[in-house]
A and B are shown apart, each in its own frame.
Chain A
């Protein structure tokens, strides 16, 4: 079974630009969560989607948004990029909502650098 795939793996953007990251979950998984990982803050939850509905949202500004498609694939978008948005963005998929203790399987992440 293929794992979680994220594209692109690396991205360099300029301040003020916007970016879209993509995540393909494991086949059959209906929940996708997004995390921002930085050396100082660890793993910070962005949002979770289950069956195309946003189930939960972390404490990030509205510049961070996401969506999930009917095939469970998910995208996250960051508009008006800031230097502080430089991070590893991780996507994780699970059979059901993570709040119900379904095991999360993480992708390798997208390394975003904002200059």
Chain B
């Protein structure tokens, strides 16, 4: 019930295309859903985050879509660029100060030039 399942494991998209990464969770107590981006040799960095009171959040070319009833959320990267090639992690947490954030296993995204 604590898991966050992420798919696909890897993704290849043409430059200019839309990259879509999906995550699913079981625990309805989760109330914060961030996405992290990690480049080779670097630690992950927060990309965008959403709370379940909204169904969509957009920041530039990055959009999170959230479906509370299906317990799913996804990251859409519009007009994907080679510089977006990285590993992306979804995550979830419950807002309890003594609780931890749960990460998905990651998606390795490669944008073809």
Does B25 interact with chain A (Cβ within 8 Å)? no
Does B42 interact with chain A (Cβ within 8 Å)? yes
Nearest CB on B from A89, distance (A): 10
What 1/0 flags go to B51-92 for Cβ under 8 Å of A? 000000000000000000000000000000000000001000
Nearest CB on A from B75, distance (A): 15
Among B46, B98, B100, the most chain A Cβ lie within 10 Å of the Cβ of B100
User: Could you tell me which residues of chain A, from 61 to 89, have a CB within 8 Å of some CB in chain B?
Assistant: none
CA–CA, A58 to B32, complex, Å?
20
B43 contacts which chain A residues (CB < 8 A)?
Answer: 4, 90, 92, 106-109
Q: Is the CB of B45 within 8 A of A99?
A: no
Q: Is the CB of A99 within 8 A of B41?
A: no
A90 contacts which chain B residues (CB < 8 A)?
Answer: 43-44
**Of the candidates B45, B93, B106, which one forms a contact with A42 in the assembled complex, judged by CB atoms under 8 Å apart?**
B106
A99 contacts which chain B residues (CB < 8 A)?
Answer: 93-101
